[in-house]
Structure 1
Amino acid sequence: MRLLTVNAGGVRPTEAAETGGSGIDKRPVDGPVLVRDPGPKGEGGSGLAGAGDEIGDLRHHGGRDQAVYAFAREDLDRWERELGKPLANGVFGENLTTGGVDVNGALIGERWRIGADLVLEVTSGRIPCRTFADHLGERGWVRRFTQAAAPGAYLRVIEPGEIRAGDAIEVVHRPAHEVTVSVAFRAATIERTLLPGVLAAADALHPELLATARTYVERETAGSGRAAASAGQG
């Protein structure tokens, strides 16, 4: 398992983004690149800020639980075949393009060591947006990407460190549950009935998805209680 490229990009104007600019257009950069905790969402941006990586919309992107975005080269290759056009490393806005890593099968809370010092923890999958579709120039892209349920992974920084292309990626921790990036993504998007199950990964799950799952369970529990009460009155 290897890190093929480290990718970064500055904010560029786009009408597709609510803020008028996006940093989704990322390109491979020379190492070493320092990766560190960027701070809370809304205040901190990218974990690769020192490499010139910027976030256009701090309300929805960046921050501690989305410090780094990883996507597998194998999945880019699959989309190349389906879309019929070349897709360079970084084109999906990923900071890390990996080789030999089952990114979508990674468990929430799984930890990766990259290079000598950096340790990252998987938090969630990437939710597609209009800016992503506009960047690729593909009609219906949000729906198509969502249906594939192979979104790549967001990660938080557990231990900062420098990385560069070619570094080995080692899984140093795998939690006991079975909540993968793909399962968490499906729960957040097209299969809401999976939400109760993602609570098994509560210790590491992205806080926004965790809150969504807890609210879903509370509502379902309340609904079951009302139904049982009505049945008893009948």
Structure 2
Amino acid sequence: MKFAVIVFPGSNCDVDMYHAAKDELGEEAEYVWHDAVSLEGYDAILLPGGFSFGDYLRTGAIARFSPIMKEVIKAAQDGKPILGVCNGFQVLLEAGLLPGAMRRNESLKFICRPVGLRVENNETMFTSSYEKGEVIQIPVAHGEGNYYCDETTLASLKENGQIVFTYENNPNGSLENIAGIVNEQGNVLGMMPHPERAVDPLLGGADGLNLFKSIVKQWRESHAVKA
């Protein structure tokens, strides 16, 4: 399986994403710069955290217009796994690949610490290696992770099982404790916590590794490739 790690000016978690895919999973991974115009040959797309384009205007607002995003949107439409973490989640929201928006943390302060996440839906291509209701420890590091959407969108998220992760103890004021959601098709996941920073006990924990394992598992099964 081959992962593309998208790199915007200001990305700072791209190396962590690459490490998770290449070193922990043993899969192929390559960095893809924001001005690239093709994602041909890649099986999954990773949008890392950071401060793309300095977070000017709004988080993810400028990155959304990068040339590579046309290809990310096309890959999403083709059903390829797309994972956006932190700033990557914000970019996916701005690009319209996920519903809702991000507001500043309720405390108006940057938050950086491990948090408990509850797996609300383990029937996605990102969570099949977890148990439903399982609580995992994943670090957060953001200033604008306060997820918001209108009542109609929230009802739709609940009805379709699109709320994948919720916070045990809400750190940022996010609506309904939402920490991560998928699109209706189920192949685009956006989440504020950083699973790529929790893939090895040496990093403080490995609860995030199963997310990446789930992606590989689904890809192998869909391509009839035995592990």
TM-score range, shorter chain: under 0.3
- Could you say which structure has the larger radius of gyration? 1
Say which structure, 1 or 2, has more relative contact order (CA 8 Å, 6+ apart): 1
Q: What TM-score results when the alignment is normalised by the length of structure 2?
A: 0.26
